[in-house]
Each structure stands twice: as C-alpha cells, then as structure tokens.
Chain A
C-alpha cells in the first residue's frame, strides 16, 4: 500500500454495474465481498486503486471492482503489475491470481515479483483445481486428485504456495479462506505492509473440487483445526466455546514444531511459542506444518518489511542523475565528433 489521504466510501462504492459471472456458491463471491468490505475500512480511494489479474476464474475479479482494472493474460499479471508500479509507484495495486495462473504458467513471474519486493498485495486464490478450463488437476492438487486429465488420480506432488513465496523471498505471507470472518484482517495487514504481500486464500470450487478444504475450513470443529496467528500472542488453539486447550511449541532437539496441551493460563510453562511475525525460520515451520497432526496455520504468518523495488529504482535514478540534465541536442552530438563546414565539405578538425 501507499501513504494516502483516506477517503470515505461504502461497500457499494466498490461494486461495478457488471453482472458477476461466477458459479452460484463459488468461494469467489465471499472473497469479493471481503475485499469490498475491507477497502472502505482502509480509507482507500477507488481512483487510485488498481486491480490486475491473469487468467482463470479468480482473474475475473477486476471486472467486479469499481476501480481501475486490468484483466491481462495467463500468468503474466505480476510482470504487468511491476510495470504499472514502476511507472506510477503511487498507485495502490492489488494482484489477483490463482493456483494455476500464479504457480503454474506464471510461476516464474511470481518468483520474481516476490524476490524484487514490488509493493502490492498479491491474492492467490487456491482452489487446487483448474476451474475455468473445466476441472483439470492443478499444481496444488493433492496426490490422487481425479480430474479429466488425471482420470485415475494425479501423481505429481503439490506445491505449497506459502512455502514457494517464502523461498522466493517474500517479506509478507498471509493465509485465509474465502468464508472466514478473519479474512479482512489479513487483507488489512497485507495492505499495511510496504512491499510484496503474498496472501494465499483457500477458495472452494463447488463444481470441480467441492469442499476440499472442509477438513479445516468447515465450521464444525474449526477451533481445533485452525491456528489463527497474531503477532505477540501465544500460538494457542482449540474450541472457542470451551477455551483454548492446545498450543504450538518447539521441539528443541528435533528442531520442529509440536502440539502441546496448554491453556491461556499455563501456556508459558507449556512452552507455547509467542508468534513473532518477523521470525522467518518459525514462519517456515508454520507454513510446512502437516495438516492433521497439526492445525492449519492462518492469519499473518510472516511480516518483516524490506525496502521496495520501486523505491530502489527511484533511489538509483536520483543517484544516477545527480548533476545531470537532459539535453537532447547535446546527447545526440556526444562521443567523438567532427565538424564539416567548408564549401567542399571537408572536415575541419
């Protein structure tokens, strides 16, 4: 995000007159509403906001946002957004992509936009399937996913988007899911982060990969299966009705995380970790926690800003142009030159 004058808007101000064309019940609707709810809370200005997407169901997103929007080509949104930010660093840019768009055809651009740290919010809608092309296995599909292109089940191992992002050098990694009430908080934290903020949003494709995230996203038993991280707070989870009863601690011999019994009263003795969003090593362990033995880590997993790419480009320009003035006539006539000025056209020096 950028420093900006906050302006008053309502959710309605962010809706376009275009008919939304996702399948009824698609998780994308919930994400759209979460974003349209979040932007007024940020005081964002629609005239200064730009949504840029690639290709896929998620990438239709810009058509439904009353902002500037660019629906580009498959996988290339990070590269286009990089050009936009370099040309006008003051724009507030949101990138919308999916697991196929962002990690398969556009994996290379995703790597580089993250390592360069171009200041924007990157929302990767992960539904573990190719929806718009009618249901083929994607790079995040679990082994054994049956699809038209993998009729007896997929056998390539899935990529972990947040692990990819961390490996690429991302300085902000957030995670949420479509219908989660906490999603706006993750978006707000991403927006507050100066630099490339990567947000994986689990999204339910009700047609081709229905309820694939129910094991942790279903409301029933969610407390035991979701670890919502908050900077400076102990990593506790459990049924909210009966209170937290478990926590995440570090097995110092194996150098890996473990689940321990703990409550809000005794977590310190139980060795429960306090979430430090600037700790890259722990962020890595949280991202890699296998779901099942562990809950799904959600919220802001990592947030440790570094100087942005467009800032570095501006600084370099300032340094490189010290004492230099644009003078086209002088530039054209630079280098070793000679003058022809006598009548016969012979050189004089």
Chain B
C-alpha cells in the first residue's frame, strides 16, 4: 500500500457539512451500481444528497480505455444539497483511465483511492500514461491511498471458489464496503439488496457480501496512517414525513400515473427505446394494475401515433423520447394540435444535434419544444427542475392536456432522468382531482327538422372542444389533420375559417391558466435576476444563495411554465436592473424572454454535456454585478 499525504495543507475537518465523492472505473466495473447503493445508504443515514451519474454511451466499451470510463458522483451533507457538487473531495479510481479522466475535477488536497492491481503497464498505456502517476510524484497536491483492491477482493472471496474473473466482479462491493466505513454507514441494507438481487445465486450473493465486509474491515482494521479517516456527516434536518430516494425517470412515471388517476382516465403509454428516456417505459410497464397500458412501438412515430389513437378512444395518451425521437414525432404532434386531443409528450433532453451525446445532458430542445413543428402549432410546455419536481410537473402536464384538449410537452433532461435525490413522499389526497368529461349527447342547436346536431369543435369557456369517444351512441363524426370548420369540424379551407381556427388554437394555448411566477430566492426587483429553467435549478440556487450570503443583491427565478409563460413574468423581469439567463444551450430561453418582453436578458451558456458548476455561476453573477 502506498500512501501520500498532500504537500499542501488543507482543511481536513472530521465533521464536514458536505462531502462530494466520485466513483470512477471501467464501464463494466459496476460503478453505477456502487454509486446507487452508496446513495441509498446515504439517504438512509438521513443526509440530503444529489447525484450525477456520468457514463459512456457504449454498454461495454473496451476495457481500460479513456472513453470507457464510467463515473458516479454524489454530494451529500448535513445541510440542504441542490447539486451533485462542483469538485469531488474523494475520487475512487478503479483503473488508470478513471484517474486520468477524473483527476482534473478533484479538489486540490482531495483524496484519491486507487486500485494498484489495475495500474499495470498495459492499462497505463491504454490511459496514455508514460509512467504510473502513483509513483512519479504528479499527484503531490492530493492525498493518495493506493493499494491492490483487486488482490484484496480475490482474497476475500477465495472461499467461494470463483474464478479470478468472477471474483474480480466483486471489486465494486469491496470498494463500497470501504466507502461505507469511511462515512460510518450501515451495511445491512446493502446486504439485503445483494441477497434479493442474487436470490437464485446465493453463492454470488455471499461472495459479494464477503467483499463488502472485507472492504469495510479493511478500513476498520488496517493500520492506516495519513489520509484515510472516518468521517461522520451528520443527518440533514428536514421536514418531517416519509422519504425515499427518487430519480427523475421514476418521478415522471409516478407523476403520470397520478395525473391519469386525477383525471380518472386509463393511461396509454407509447414508447420506443431511446437513451435516456427508456427508463420511463420500463417503470410504467410494471404498473399495469394502475390501469396503465404500455406499448413498445415499431418507431418513434408509431409510439406517438398509437398514443394519439388511444386518446381519441378515451385514454390519456402519453409518449416519451429524447431529442432525435421528438423530431420524428413532430408531424404527429401537429395532428394532435389540429384534432385537439389530449396528449403528454415527455422529452428527456440530451446533447445534440443528431445523435449528439446520448448519455450527456443538455437543454437544447427548448426551441424544438416551443416552435419545432410545421404551421402555427402552439403547444404548452412545462419543465421539471429536479427529480422530485418532475412528479408535480407530470401531473401538471396531464391536467393541462385533459382540461384544454391539447398536446403538452414536458421537458426534462438526462441529468434529471438519471440523478437521484431524497423525496418527501406526497400524499395523493393533497392533489385536486381534475376528472375528464366526455360528451354523451349532441351539443348543437336543432336543425330545420328539429333534430339536435353535433358540434365536435364547439368550444367551452377555456377554448377547449368536447372529447367524444368513438362508441358513444349517435355521436358519429369525423376528425383529421385537414383544417376544420369552426364548430362542425367539417373540412374547410376557406380563408376566413383558417384565420378563425388558427386564432382559436393560439388563444386556447395562450389562455391556459398557469400560476404567477414566484421568486425562489431573493426579493422582487433589484440589481440582478438569475433566470433559469429545468435542471440548472440546483447550481443556480446554490450560487445565488452564496452570493446573497456575501451581501450581493441577486435573486433566483426559476420558470416551470415555459409556454404559456406566467402572466406576471414580464413585469417581474423588468423590476431588475439586469437579467442573466444561464442555460445548457446557446441561449434559447434568453431569446424567448427577449422576444416576449423586450428585456435585455443576457446569456450564460454551457454545452459541454456537463451540468453547471456553482463556481461558474458565482463568477458570472459577480461579473454581472460589477
């Protein structure tokens, strides 16, 4: 075992109020599992937390390569946590490539735990190291704990008679055991999870538990001097109630189920596999008892079209995808707009254009959401700001879709979809139901024979047309993508009718009642408003909070209703001297705000596939206030 203490003195408090740990290894090393289980144990210990899974698009990239590195970062603490943290305090590097890719992120004075068993000539070559960084002094500004985790794992699981290859699969559990010791965590929930996961392979479960225990024992008994110390991060005080950890994909799935129940409708979900949206299909496929039908379609177009068909037949149609799939669904969205049928479209945004960065996050589909269809095709857009927030946003999308007879776009992104956070489980009874109504009798005036007539496009006070289920006696009618006549819905190309219907569709969407915009941190009016939407909530909130603590006049406004925008937003923005809009794109929401309100919104853009760091936002706020 080699240990090095950092040359530079650094704060090494035994009781930090927040710690950032990053597990990094080969994409086959099980780092996401390790991170997920560490997250669970952290949540059970009562810390607030945020996570950032960062993995390659390849399922099993060639071993040991730089592009095959998979990482999982968790920030947890005894205070409120909003982001996965800027720089890790601890980096667990399972091989040289993992060290190389992640080292630049590590805090100076941070701790590196490295598996020397993987620092072979071959692996060093693959990571493009001339010599081992553990030995050449290049890691002098960090604490380094380097020992042969591979050999220790093989030793720990010897009694189970596994081959070396299988034995090494438990390496991640050994590492997790060590991490659990470092942060004084209970191992029992992980043991339970392993027993359940390998129910049919008790040997494998036992080997993994043995590795977990051995890693833990190593921390406890090895005579470690120097950097490895046990840290106890006290629990975060939080509101009383029942908690669980939740990812955005889970939260959206549950929100859709809740939304359909509040609308008193069966839900039909049409999906096609795409990263990072597939998880929603997977979750919903297991919830059939909630009157959910899931349909894996032949392509993205069929997925939305089947959902439209289901809505037409009286279900709440839902489809979900990521940017490239949403592009394919564009024409069908137009059909849902024209036929005025409810539909929820979830976009888990990822880096683009084209295939782009399938596993990395970005917010660059905002224009696509608001404007990205042929014709004047308005769609309400709701955006989730965190995994937990996605639950309420999904309900909101279902409400708007069914109450206004319109497709609704629900924006999330790869970061929210995969990241986990503790979630105060809501009481379903706290949501107001919005039961859907179906027309059951003719709604038009009597004709010349005195018979009642049917007007499928007669609008209510909200501008919505009636929902008429096929199968309802005597309400036969035809709908379609061709321009419809006012009230009757017959084909009508006439100039005055197209003007009237274009106006009606636009007014309906612009008239959707959305709550007034609140300032989530700071006061109304002042020197600077930092305006965000989506998953930038965490870093903006932290940065604004820190700058306010330093005495700066800055507020955080986070917009959920992207279209239509809250009625008071324009006046609110004009009450600040400056408006800064940080976005993980080249400035899309900034442009929308400028267009809608003629405010001098200034962009702050990042398109690296990585979330904002708090310090980047602090610097931008400082500059804006200078």
Contact = CB atoms under 8 A, between A and B. Distances in A.
Given A47-B475, A321-B289, 13 more contacts: A69-B477, A72-B308, A73-B305, A79-B309, A80-B305, A88-B314, A109-B301, A317-B293, A320-B288, A326-B290, A328-B261, A329-B427, A336-B244
B239 A340 contact: yes
B480 A333 contact: no
Nearest to A83: B309
A329 B334 CA distance: 36
30 contacts: A47-B476, A68-B478, A69-B477, A69-B479, A70-B478, A70-B480, A72-B305, A73-B331, A73-B334, A73-B335, A79-B301, A80-B308, A82-B297, A83-B268, A84-B309, A86-B268, A108-B302, A321-B289, A326-B290, A328-B290, A331-B254, A334-B244, A335-B244, A336-B43, A337-B242, A337-B243, A337-B244, A338-B43, A338-B44, A347-B45
Interface string A40-55: 0000001110101001
B286 to A, nearest CB: 8
Given A328-B261, A336-B44, A88 B471 contact: yes
Contacts of B127: none
B451 to A, nearest CB: 12
Interface residues of B, number: 75
Given A86-B268, A86-B310, A333 B476 contact: no
B257 interface: yes
A339 B43 CA distance: 11
A67 B477 CA distance: 6
Contact of B268 (A87, A90, A332): A87
Contact of B313 (A84, A321, A324): A84
Quick one: which of B258, B308, B314, B331 has the most chain A CB within 10 A?
B308
Contact of B476 (A66, A321, A336): A66
A32 B150 CA distance: 75
B310 A84 contact: yes
Given A83-B295, A333-B425, A346-B46, A47 B309 contact: no
Interface string B455-490: 000000000000001111111111111100000001
B309 A344 contact: no
Interface of A: 16, 18, 46-48, 50, 52, 55, 62-63, 66-73, 76, 78-88, 90-91, 108-109, 111-112, 313, 316-317, 320-321, 324-326, 328-329, 331-342, 344-347
Nearest to A337: B244
Contact of B254 (A47, A63, A84, A332): A332
Contacts of B312: 70, 80, 83-84, 87
Contact of A72 (B266, B303, B317, B481): B481
A87 B313 contact: yes
A5 to B, nearest CB: 12
Contact of A331 (B240, B290, B481): B290
A87 B287 CA distance: 16
A76 B481 CA distance: 12
B233 interface: no
B16 interface: no
B512 to A, nearest CB: 25
A346 B311 CA distance: 45
Contact of A68 (B289, B477, B491): B477
Contacts of B298: 79, 108-109, 111-112
B240 A83 contact: no
A12 to B, nearest CB: 14
Contacts of A79: 297-298, 301-303, 305-306, 309
Contacts of B189: 336
B226 interface: no
B46 A71 contact: no
Contacts of A16: 478
A325 B287 CA distance: 10
Give chain B's interface secondary structure class.
mixed
Could you say which of B261, B268, B309 has the most chain A C-beta atoms within 10 Å of its C-beta? B309
B279 to A, nearest CB: 14
B243 A63 contact: no
A308 B342 CA distance: 27
Interface in B23-63: 40, 43-46
B103 interface: no
B231 interface: no
Contacts of B427: 329
Contacts of B257: 328, 331
B245 interface: yes
Nearest to A59: B480
A97 to B, nearest CB: 13
7 A-B pairs with the lowest CB-CB distances in the bound complex, closest first: A83-B309, A71-B480, A83-B306, A345-B237, A347-B46, A79-B305, A68-B470
A318 to B, nearest CB: 9
Contacts of A340: 46, 238-241, 243
B263 to A, nearest CB: 13
Contact of A347 (B235, B270, B469, B477): B235
A165 to B, nearest CB: 16
B83 interface: no
Nearest to B303: A79
Interface in B428-448: 428-429
A67 B470 CA distance: 9
A80 B425 CA distance: 36
A340 to B, nearest CB: 5
B306 A80 contact: yes
Nearest to A339: B242
Contacts of A316: 288
A100 to B, nearest CB: 16
A87 B305 contact: no
Contact of A326 (B235, B291, B491): B291
Nearest to A317: B288
A212 B403 CA distance: 51
A18 B490 contact: yes
B476 A91 contact: no
A315 B334 CA distance: 34
B307 interface: yes
B17 interface: no
Of the candidates A90, A111, A345, the one having the most CB atoms from chain B within 10 angstroms of its own CB is: A345
B245 A335 contact: yes
A269 B429 CA distance: 79
B71 to A, nearest CB: 23
A76 B254 CA distance: 29
Contacts of A111: 298
A56 to B, nearest CB: 13
Contacts of B334: 73
Contact of A76 (B235, B302, B426): B302
A332 B309 contact: no
Contacts of B270: 83
A329 B110 CA distance: 43
Contacts of B311: 83, 87
Contact of A73 (B243, B289, B332): B332
A66 B478 CA distance: 9
B518 interface: no
Interface in B277-336: 287-291, 293, 295, 297-299, 301-303, 305-315, 317, 331-332, 334-335
A73 to B, nearest CB: 5
Contacts of A72: 305, 308, 335, 480-481
Given A86-B268, A320-B288, A337-B425, A46 B476 contact: yes
Nearest to B254: A332
Contacts of B236: 345
A68 B243 contact: no
Nearest to B250: A335
A76 B237 contact: no
A201 B289 CA distance: 42
Nearest to B78: A346
A82 B235 CA distance: 51
A62 B237 contact: no
B287 A331 contact: yes
A86 to B, nearest CB: 6
Interface in B332-346: 332, 334-335, 339
